[in-house]
């Protein structure tokens, strides 16, 4: 059995990592998956996954847990399935190159985003060009559904690569779901959501007792309101930011 090593692989920013990270965090804040101050939370923005398995792995932290070999093997498993699939689907990939070509380019993109360093030269321009010109035949509802189905199968068959840490599969699902939603918007098809469980919402519990008056006052109204609600404080009515600050300081 191939287990995830307890030692951490040294991560680094790639050409895409930071931009994708910021975009995901902004979207996740809007969807209330991450707290409003997520951009400033070290456990979220770091490229190192927490060793505490009660804390989720953000997908830009996956390299620190998996390393390069496991990521490449998952991608290879996926393309092995693609090249055994129905002609209408695999033909689009065969026209571009053989399995080794796709494994090399796709794994480079995964590694780049997941904290594996400068791997995907050309970054989003290259990725967008590929989808708009090379892969356009499958950038639709039918192609997305087939792609997702084969990816789920590849992940299921790669379970030995990731099962040592249950957070890994959930983090990969989050990564795939984020990009699939982007492609659904870009190419006008219905979002495919069959990857499985994604990272659960993180509720930020600020400890006002350990904060200075200045740091409390620096919080946004939304941050104050959410933190107070999390502590059971009633913030309904017409309480403005000044009133929320007063309540926070009184705790």
Three-class SS of 137-176: HHCCHHHHHHHHHHHHHHHHHCHHHHCCCHHHHHHHHHHH
CA distances to 216, 237, 243 from 249, rounded to whole Å, are 8, 19, 10
Check: CB of residue 52 under 8 Å from CB of residue 44: no
Which residues of the chain fall below pLDDT 70? 1-7, 204, 238
Digit-coded pLDDT (tens) for 222-244: 888 878 887 788 887 767 889 89
pLDDT number for residue 3: 46
What gap in Å lies between CA 19 and CA 200, rounded to an integer?
A: 22
Taking Cα atoms as reference points, which of 201, 231, 236, 194 lies closest to residue 216? 231
Task: Please give the pLDDT value at position 218.
Answer: 87
3-class DSSP assignment, residue 12? strand
Report how far residue 114's alpha carbon sits from residue 172's, in angstroms, rounded to the nearest whole number.
10
How confident is the model at residue 204, as a pLDDT?
65
- Cα gap 58→172, rounded to integer Å: 9
Q: Which helix (H) or strand (E) holds 205?
A: none
The Cα 43–Cα 201 span in angstroms is 14
pLDDT, position 63: 97
């Amino acid at each position: 059995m191939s287990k995830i090593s307890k030692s951490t692989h040294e991560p680094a920013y790639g050409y895409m990592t930071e931009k994708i990270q910021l975009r995901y965090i902004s979207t996740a804040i809007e969807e209330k998956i991450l707290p409003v101050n997520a951009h400033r939370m070290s456990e979220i923005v770091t490229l190192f996954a927490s060793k505490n398995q009660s804390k989720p792995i953000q997908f830009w932290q996956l390299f620190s847990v998996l390393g390069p070999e496991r990521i490449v093997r998952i991608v290879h498993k996926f393309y092995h399935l693609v090249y055994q699939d129905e002609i209408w689907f695999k033909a689009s990939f065969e026209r571009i190159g053989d399995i080794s070509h796709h494994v090399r380019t796709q794994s480079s993109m995964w590694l780049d985003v997941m904290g594996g360093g400068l791997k995907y030269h050309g970054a989003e321009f290259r990725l967008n060009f590929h989808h708009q010109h090379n892969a356009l035949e499958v950038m639709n509802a039918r192609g997305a559904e087939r792609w997702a189905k084969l990816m789920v199968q590849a992940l299921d068959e790669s379970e030995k690569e990731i099962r040592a840490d249950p957070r890994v599969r959930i983090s990969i699902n989050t990564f795939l779901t984020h990009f699939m939603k982007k492609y659904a918007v870009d190419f006008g098809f219905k979002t495919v959501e069959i990857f499985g469980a994604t990272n659960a919402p993180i509720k930020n519990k600020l400890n006002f007792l350990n904060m200075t008056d200045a740091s409390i006052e620096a919080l946004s109204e939304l941050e104050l309101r959410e933190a107070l609600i999390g502590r059971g404080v009633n913030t309904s009515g017409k309480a403005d930011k000044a009133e929320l600050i007063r309540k926070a300081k009184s705790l």
